[in-house]
C-alpha cells in the first residue's frame, strides 16, 4: 500500500514494498552510499540528483540544476548522515566531529540557501527556479541538524528485520515502529514466528 512520503523499494528476492523513511535526510540515504552501499549507488551523474530531488519528499517541483561539484557535495553529506544515523540508531551519542562539521558546511546559509518556496494563486506551493544542487544539499543538511539535534533522537532506528539495514525516523504516535515496512520485514517476522521458517535472503535495495 502506498503511503504519503513513501518510496517503493525492491528487495533481493524481488519483493516490492513501500518504505517511509520519515525524514528527508534519511530518505536521501536511499540513493546509495560509500563502501558496501556503493553497489546501490543511484547518483552517478548530476542529472540523477536533479531527477531524485524532484521525486523526494522535499516536494520540489519545477526545474533543478545540479553541477558535478554539487553532486560530490551531496554524496559527502549523504555519507556523513549515514554514519550519524547508524550511530543514533544504535543508541550512541558520540558523533564524529568530522561528520558534524560536514552538516555545518552543507547547511551554511551562504551561498547555499535552501530552496525558496512561494505561493501561486490557488495557494499551491512553487519554488524559485531552478532549484540548485547546493540548495538541496543545504535543505538535507538542515533536516539532518533538526533530526540529530532534536528531542526525538531515540526515534532514529534501523529496521529490526534480520539483515535489513534501512534507517527511518519513527513518527508514529506510540513510537513503537520496528520495521521498514509491515509489508516486508513486519510480515516476514510474523511468518517466521508462526512457522519457525528459515529467513529469506534479506538485504534490501532501493528500486
**Counting beta carbons within 10 angstroms of the beta carbon of residue 107, is it exposed (0 to 12), middle (13 to 18) or buried (19 or more)?**
buried
Name residue 119's beta-bridge partners.
125
Does position 167 interact with Zn ion (CB under 5 A)? The reply is no
**133/161 with CB nearer Zn ion:** 161
Q: Whole-number minimum distance, CB 188 to Zn ion, in Å?
A: 8
Candidates 74, 137, 144, 185: give the one binding Zn ion (CB under 5 A): 185
Query: How many amino acids of this chain bind Zn ion (CB under 5 A)?
Result: 5
Does position 180 interact with Zn ion (CB under 5 A)? The reply is yes
Which grid cell is 207?
528500486
Q: Whole-number minimum distance, CB 93 to Zn ion, in Å?
A: 24
Q: Whole-number minimum distance, CB 78 to Zn ion, in Å?
A: 20
Q: Whole-number minimum distance, CB 34 to Zn ion, in Å?
A: 21
Which span (79-87, 97-105, 111-119, 180-188) binds Zn ion, by CB under 5 A? 180-188
Does position 161 interact with Zn ion (CB under 5 A)? The reply is yes
Cβ atoms within 10 Å of 63's Cβ, excluding its own: 11
Sign of CA dihedral 65, 63, 142, 157: negative
20, 34, 87, 137, 172 from 180: Cα distances, Å: 7, 21, 17, 25, 13
Cell 533536516, located at residue: 143
Residues that bind Zn ion in the complex, under the rule CB under 5 A: 159, 161, 164, 180, 185
Amino acid at each position: 500500500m502506498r503511503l504519503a512520503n513513501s518510496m517503493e523499494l525492491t528487495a533481493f528476492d524481488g519483493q516490492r514494498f513501500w518504505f517511509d523513511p520519515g525524514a528527508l535526510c534519511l530518505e536521501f540515504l536511499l540513493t546509495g552510499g560509500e563502501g558496501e552501499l556503493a553497489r546501490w549507488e543511484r547518483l552517478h551523474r548530476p542529472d540523477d540528483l536533479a531527477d531524485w530531488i524532484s521525486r523526494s519528499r522535499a516536494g520540489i517541483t519545477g526545474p533543478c540544476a545540479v553541477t558535478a561539484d554539487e553532486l560530490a557535495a551531496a554524496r559527502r553529506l549523504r555519507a556523513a548522515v549515514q554514519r550519524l544515523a547508524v550511530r543514533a540508531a544504535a543508541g550512541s551519542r558520540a558523533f564524529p566531529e568530522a561528520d558534524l562539521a560536514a552538516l555545518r558546511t552543507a547547511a551554511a546559509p551562504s551561498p547555499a540557501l535552501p530552496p525558496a518556496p512561494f505561493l501561486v494563486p490557488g495557494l499551491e506551493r512553487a519554488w524559485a527556479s531552478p532549484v540548485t544542487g547546493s540548495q538541496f544539499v543545504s535543505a538535507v543538511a538542515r533536516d539532518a541538524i533538526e533530526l540529530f539535534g532534536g528531542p526525538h533522537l531515540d526515534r532514529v532506528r534501523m529496521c529490526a528485520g534480520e539483515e535489513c539495514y534501512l534507517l527511518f525516523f519513527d513518527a508514529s504516535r506510540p513510537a513503537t515502529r520496528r520495521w521498514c515496512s509491515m509489508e516486508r520485514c513486519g510480515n516476514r517476522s510474523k511468518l517466521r514466528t508462526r512457522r519457525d521458517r528459515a529467513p529469506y535472503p534479506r538485504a534490501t535495495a532501493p528500486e
